[in-house]
Amino acid sequence: MPEHFDERQLIFYAAIPGSGWSKLSLLLGCCANLNLNKSDRNPEREEIGKNGNTGLVHHKGAYWDPGMEFGQGFDDIARNYSKESFIEECLRGFTEHNDQNYLIRSHFFCEYKNLQWLTENFPNNRIIVVLRSVELSIQGWNEGMTFTNNYPNYQAWMRYPDEVHPENKEHFEGMLWKHDRMVRRWILENDDVIDIIQPNKKFINKLGYVWDDEGCEEYEKLVMVHQFFKSEVPMYDAPFAFYNCQDLW
Amino acid sequence: MVRDEQLVFFIAIPGSGWAKIDSLLRKCSKWSFNTSDCTEDRKDEIISKGPGYYVEHKGHFIGPGTGYGEGFDNLPGNYTRGAFKAECLRVYAELNDTDHYMIKCHWFCEEHNLKWLVENFPNNKMIFVLRDKDKCDDRWLTSMSFEKNYPNYRRWMDVEDPDDEIGKHCPENIESFKRLNDWHNIQMRRFVRMAKKPTMIFCPTKYALDSMDYEWDEEGIKEYNAYIKNYMVNASLRARSPSWDTSIVFYNCTDILGYA
């Protein structure tokens, strides 16, 4: 455990695959108020998507889920980790440790039992969830990703090792529906402390968005690929749900 | 005497659930919305869903076919500023200089109307309801009729259809409804994107409603529960999993929301 580490530096980030959560997390990385540690980023942890180089890097940095680089046991945190070993696993993705916040991105945080464990063990920590319909998320993931040929690795969503086995698709979609249902149930149960907000310019500016080269690039990416998903006008179909975050704005 | 700034323009496409959002906002005491438009002849409980009595549409709706604002499809062509304001307030029985007056009209979505509103009422608040257009179409077409429910949607029809019923519409009218919804949706979202005044977009969670001093009395609980029940992912997941697929856009509302 790094010296002077405060467990509230961990921000838990959850969503289902295809929700655009990666792009949205990169947007959060440009918000000064979140003060995110970016030392998990390196060239090996980048992905441009299965359609090749469109000039956009969709995935950057570390991910924590079974089959991915970190968080092999994050499908059942209570069973696989003590609080201390969980913190260590979260921090393992970062090379530099300082007073900045660590955004821990895991799809399996969506599991209801994991959300309960997180809120019981880290009652003062922030949790951020991206909400997007399962149908749109499935479409989004299928257009840009594969189970094992892109970064990050989604083998935990497969039932059979053959990438194109038809039952893998069904299994993948079933997991998305399950996780979506669970995370929305948790939100409903906590909606007296949760804000669900669309990331328009006004709002990200309230989060201290930095409009440097990186900031402009990430925002353009969000607008081009996400808010205008197959539409000439913004869809605003992927809001953030913020738990314990009201001090950020 | 009602000041201009007391008018709050409320804007959405049919099927967005805007009527329920209106009901929620009217329970927020920070807004102090006047409710003297909520008369017995202005409500519709026919399409109530789920257990319990719930009035889905209540209060005024302004626009062609509703009996008020017959020319609201073209504000610059049909009204002076004063005549428009008088027409808006005609739906309210009580007028004072303190309350806010919600003015609900689908036709405000049109670009020329939004431009006219901003030019003529530059300091006013606007509230938009955003929901996926296909979901709006589906919801409205399966839960409303053009002329047999309140409010009246005759203006969305392309042909006369005396057999029109809830969920039973002729193809021409379905097509004209979807076409108009598409047109209004695009113009409304374009305005929101290019908005010149501070604009926050969020979902009506309890937290968000509490920030506007929602009244959790019997009526308030009923309104909130009705909202949740009507926005479930699907029937099998009822009571557990709201889709939160409807966002409210608050334009120029920073003093109410407390956001600087």
- ipTM rounded to 2 decimals: 0.92
* Closest-CA distance of chain B to residue A32, Å: 17
**Best B138, B201, B212, B257 residue to mutate vs chain A (most A CBs within 10 Å):** B201
Kindly give the parts of chain A with pLDDT less than 50: none
- CB < 8 Å to A234, chain B: 189, 192-193
Beta strands, E only, A146-205: 194-197
Of B247, B249, B248, B251, which is closest to residue B198 (Cα–Cα)? Answer: B251
Q: What is the pLDDT of residue B258?
A: 78
CB atoms within 10 A of CB B74: 14
**Domain with B196 in it:** 4-257
Cis peptide, bond prior to residue B151, ω within 30 of zero? yes
- What does the alpha-carbon distance between residue A126 and residue A50 come to, in Å, rounded to a whole number? 32
Residue A231: its pLDDT value, please?
Answer: 73
Distance from CA of B39 to the nearest CA of A (A): 32
Question: Residue A22: what pLDDT?
Answer: 95
Tell me the residue type at A230: K
Chain B residues with CB under 8 Å of a chain A CB are 130, 132, 185-186, 189-190, 192-193, 198-203, 205-208, 210, 228, 233, 237, 240-245, 247, 259
B241:A196 CB<8 A? no
| Chain A residues inside the 8 Å CB shell of B205 | 187, 191-192, 194-196
Residues whose CB falls within 8 Å of the CB of residue B197, separated by 6 or more in sequence, listed in order: B251, B252
Chain A residues within an 8 Å CB radius of B192: 234
CB contact under 8 A, B241 and A236: no
Residues of chain B with C-beta less than 8 angstroms from the C-beta of A248:
none
Question: Which residues in chain B come in under a pLDDT of 70?
Answer: 44-54, 232-240, 259-260
Question: Rounded to an integer, what distance in angstroms lies between the CA atom of residue B219 and that of residue A67?
Answer: 49
Full 3-state SS string of chain B: CCCHHHEEEEECCCCCCHHHHHHHHHCECCCCECCCCCCCCCEECCCCCCCCCCCCEECCCCECCCCECCCCCCHHHHCCHHHHHHHHHCCCCCCCCCCEEEEECHHHHCHHHHHHHHHHCCCCEEEEEEECHHHHHHHHHHHCCCCCCCCCCHHHCCCCCCCCECCECCHHHHHHHHHHHHHHHHHHHHHHHCCCCCEEEECCCHHHHHCCCECCCHHHHHHHHHHHHHCECCHHHCCCCECCCEEEEEECCHHHHCCC
Closest among A120, A109, A124, A123 to A77, alpha carbons compared: A109
Answer for the pair B133, B181: CB distance below 8 angstroms, yes or no.
yes
Q: What letter does residue A76 receive in the DSSP assignment?
A: S
Strand partners, A103: A11
pTM: 0.93
Instruction: Report the pLDDT value the prediction gives residue B238, as an integer from 0 to 100.
Output: 46
What letters, b where the CB count within 10 A reaches 16 and e where it falls short, cover A49-83? beeeeeebbbbbbbbbbbbbbbbebbbebeeebee
In chain B, the residue whose alpha carbon lies closest to the alpha carbon of A180 is B241
Report domain extents, chain A.
Answer: 7-248
Cross-chain Cβ contact B205/A196 below 8 Å: yes
Alpha-carbon distance A192 to A202, whole Å? Answer: 23
Please tell me the distance in Å from A249's CA to the nearest CA on chain B: 8
CB contact under 8 A, B228 and A239: no
B114 within 8 A of B20, measured Cβ to Cβ: no
Taking any CB pair shorter than 8 Å as contact, residues of chain A touching chain B are 131, 133, 180-181, 184-185, 187-188, 191-198, 200, 202-203, 206, 232-237, 239, 241, 249
Q: Is A241 exposed, middle or buried (0-12, 13-18, 19+ CB in 10 A)?
A: buried
Partners of residue B207 in chain A, C-beta under 8 Å: 191-195
Answer whether the bond into residue A199 is a cis peptide, omega within 30°. Answer: no
Split into its structural domains, chain B has a count of 1
